[in-house]
Chain A
């Protein structure tokens, strides 16, 4: 399946390159004034969009605040407006308000926005109000070049509802200069009796983090710490926790649901696998920097990206921060799939299964996405805007700017040359980074976000329970039992069949491999 897609993508790219060559000869227009290196011919290239005339028409776009996603939305809206004559109004909304600012017009039948940028896991709530991506856009080179996983993120009930413009996943980041330092290796071995290696399991992660906590291992005069994690409640902490729990609770041979048992819709969130993940999350606190239990995503980015901590795991941002030109740890960072588990809970047998090679779970979490409202009277212009937003030239430009929040999502982005030659990363690092992304994308045992109606309710109650355990207000088992009770009540309120129908879409892509 994957190789077919790669082959298909290669053919499309080859064809578009050939077209590009021809168009390049014919076209005299210079679009580099828009900040791109060069226009890449295609259905939504600068040249193609320039040929359209939307004068006198208005497009309304709702997006996140500047800079993350909000800044590229505005930039490409201004470009689109200049090229087509359209009047594009961009509404920027802080993250805490974004969900309801989109949802209220949907529920009250207002045609408020044509184009929406939002978190992809809200698809379970938004899908009835979104237009399907038309076939002609799905056949563009950009869409054909999506990785299998990012394509799955856009799908709902067999239809493409989301116009993919970002690819997110959690992975491990660590300081290679420390891991490869013989003095550090000797100290670690002396303290633990084993060789210092990149953690293969979360137990190993905690152990390495503990040893490298509270002393100045980078020689800058300040103490360093083992791990920076997103632990602040209601600040995407649920993603961090799921990353830790997934390898213990997502058995590769047991399908039919990770968050719920799809048949019964009983929550699985308090089974021994999840509890083990939470125990390790709570234990990891001893290796956080001061205040680490209140770290939001921004703190995690700056703690790891600034060289304070040895390891971290989340999205690309901390890595991009570490790779800034003035970063003290530029090119000292390496990446790896999230650690795994040697003991995995089998919910079918009700026993722990042992794995010689650690079980891992590729967690495809969050991801910004875009869509066109079903109620929009400007669907043609709206899809053209999204297609233009994510055309090859713009995407290449946006990927290079960390604050834009656009992360690799096409097979063409998994190219070490781009990161090494264009961004100046060490070749070794670029190759390992690309390898990590490819491995995650191709991994069989996958976990996706809980994309069902009311996902916010499920995730906030999960975050509250986990936060109680982290703060010592409840044991991990008590905390997750409480979450399971609340999830059961939420399922009852929403309707078991309704949640099951939505969750089946998630389980279908998780179990597809």
Chain B
């Protein structure tokens, strides 16, 4: 009976192996080969690709930019998402309309939206500079000045994914019990005190989950970089995912790109594990 019970797990395990484990193992195997545009196939070159990536300054630079971009965008998304969720959670008129409105950016196709944002930021014909000039201000080099290009890509990410934060946090707010709020009101707590003493601690769990999910997604920023800047000016907006794309699919260095991907995966797993533990220790420790 005990053995039969485990047999029932087999179909699920097979699907898991086929979908997740096999591609991962294959990528690891390819990373130890020199599979390239001129050298197809799985030969064995041991850790040569990993040795090469240690000296690849462009990869580490891209990883650093990705970290800044991911952490920066997710923190801003969290703040904005929380604010919007609180707004809709309260007694706002036309609440249903705003709920749908706030979700629109997330429901659009990232590539298409990146194209539209590139047009918005276009320094000659874009409406944003047109608006600034109509107000008597100078046009801004949104995509051709390194720091501004970096900020522009971040802005698009924030615009697109803040609704995700909004959605999760609103779901968390709706599920909060009413009693602590009644108690806070009886004790004479104002809205700010109530937020920091009741709402924020009660939302810690879902906040951490939302932040981690978004960090995982944000660490794969690709479409906006690809469409808006191609990693430029220079390498100012080049992220790891875009760099791996260039090496893998433009240069067709499949072995090396696999090594970059595996390294990236390991770094992400370690980083996100540390971030999760820190966040839990900071915000949820009293509840455990």
Give the B-binding residues of A (Cβ under 8 A): 96-97, 99-100, 103, 107-108, 125, 232-235, 289-294, 296, 299, 303, 308, 453-454, 456-457, 460, 464, 467-468, 470-474, 493-495, 498
A100 to B146, CA, bound (A): 30
A291 to B148, CA, bound (A): 12
Interface presence of B205 (CB below 8 A): no
Give the A-binding residues of B (Cβ under 8 A): 34, 36-41, 58, 122-124, 126, 129, 139, 141-144, 146, 149, 226, 229-236, 246, 249-253
B234 touches A467 (CB 8 A): yes
Instruction: Apart from A291-B141, A291-B143, list 7 A-B contacts with CB within 8 A.
Output: A99-B249, A125-B252, A291-B124, A299-B122, A457-B253, A471-B235, A471-B236
User: Which residues from chain A contact B252 at a C-beta distance below 8 Å?
Assistant: 99-100, 103, 125, 454, 456-457
- Determine which of A107, A470, A495 lies in contact with B40 in the assembled complex, contact meaning CB atoms within 8 Å: A107
A290-B124 CB under 8 A given contacts A103-B37, A233-B230, A464-B58: yes
List 18 A–B pairs whose Cβ atoms lie within 8 Å, in order of A's numbering: A99-B249, A107-B41, A108-B40, A125-B38, A233-B231, A233-B232, A233-B233, A234-B246, A234-B250, A290-B123, A291-B124, A291-B144, A294-B144, A299-B122, A454-B251, A457-B252, A468-B235, A470-B233
A294-B233 CB under 8 A given contacts A289-B124, A308-B124, A454-B38: yes
User: Which residues from chain A contact B142 at a C-beta distance below 8 Å?
Assistant: 291
A473-B234 CB under 8 A given contacts A290-B123, A290-B129: yes
User: Which residues from chain A contact B230 at a C-beta distance below 8 Å?
Assistant: 232-235, 296
A235 to B227, CA, bound (A): 10
A324 to B152, CA, bound (A): 34
CB proximity of A286 to chain B, nearest CB, Å: 12
Q: Is the interface of B mostly helix, strand, loop or mixed?
A: loop
- What residue of chain A has the Cβ atom nearest to residue B58's Cβ? A464
CB proximity of B84 to chain A, nearest CB, Å: 32
A366 to B209, CA, bound (A): 49
- What residue of chain A has the Cβ atom nearest to residue B138's Cβ? A290
- Determine which of B37, B129, B232 lies in contact with A125 in the assembled complex, contact meaning CB atoms within 8 Å: B37
A96 to B40, CA, bound (A): 20
A472 to B236, CA, bound (A): 11
User: Which residues from chain A contact B36 at a C-beta distance below 8 Å?
Assistant: 454, 493-494
- Determine which of A294, A464, A470 lies in contact with B143 in the assembled complex, contact meaning CB atoms within 8 Å: A294
A99-B234 CB under 8 A given contacts A290-B123, A290-B129, A291-B143: no
User: Which residues from chain A contact B235 at a C-beta distance below 8 Å?
Assistant: 464, 467-468, 471, 473
User: Which residues from chain B contact A289 at a C-beta distance below 8 Å?
Assistant: 123-124
- What residue of chain A has the Cβ atom nearest to residue B143's Cβ? A294
A293 touches B233 (CB 8 A): yes
CB proximity of A103 to chain B, nearest CB, Å: 6
- What residue of chain A has the Cβ atom nearest to residue B129's Cβ? A290
User: Which residues from chain B contact A292 at a C-beta distance below 8 Å?
Assistant: 123-124, 144
| 7 A-B pairs closest in CB distance | A291-B123, A471-B234, A290-B123, A107-B40, A471-B233, A453-B38, A293-B144
A471 touches B232 (CB 8 A): yes
CB proximity of B148 to chain A, nearest CB, Å: 11
A467-B233 CB under 8 A given contacts A103-B37, A290-B141: yes
A235 to B229, CA, bound (A): 10
A456 to B251, CA, bound (A): 5
A457 to B37, CA, bound (A): 9
CB proximity of B235 to chain A, nearest CB, Å: 6
A467-B232 CB under 8 A given contacts A289-B124, A290-B129, A294-B144: yes
User: Which residues from chain A contact B249 at a C-beta distance below 8 Å?
Assistant: 96-97, 99-100
- What residue of chain B has the Cβ atom nearest to residue A466's Cβ? B234
User: Which residues from chain B contact A494 at a C-beta distance below 8 Å?
Assistant: 36, 38-39
A234-B231 CB under 8 A given contacts A100-B252, A457-B253: yes
- Determine which of B38, B40, B141 lies in contact with A498 in the assembled complex, contact meaning CB atoms within 8 Å: B38
User: Which residues from chain B contact A495 at a C-beta distance below 8 Å?
Assistant: 38
A107 to B246, CA, bound (A): 19
- What residue of chain A has the Cβ atom nearest to residue B234's Cβ? A471
- What residue of chain A has the Cβ atom nearest to residue B57's Cβ? A482
A473 to B126, CA, bound (A): 26
A453 touches B144 (CB 8 A): no
A289 to B253, CA, bound (A): 36
A464 to B124, CA, bound (A): 24
User: Which residues from chain B contact A498 at a C-beta distance below 8 Å?
Assistant: 38
A464 to B247, CA, bound (A): 12
User: Which residues from chain B contact A100 at a C-beta distance below 8 Å?
Assistant: 249, 252
- What residue of chain A has the Cβ atom nearest to residue B248's Cβ? A100
B124 touches A456 (CB 8 A): no
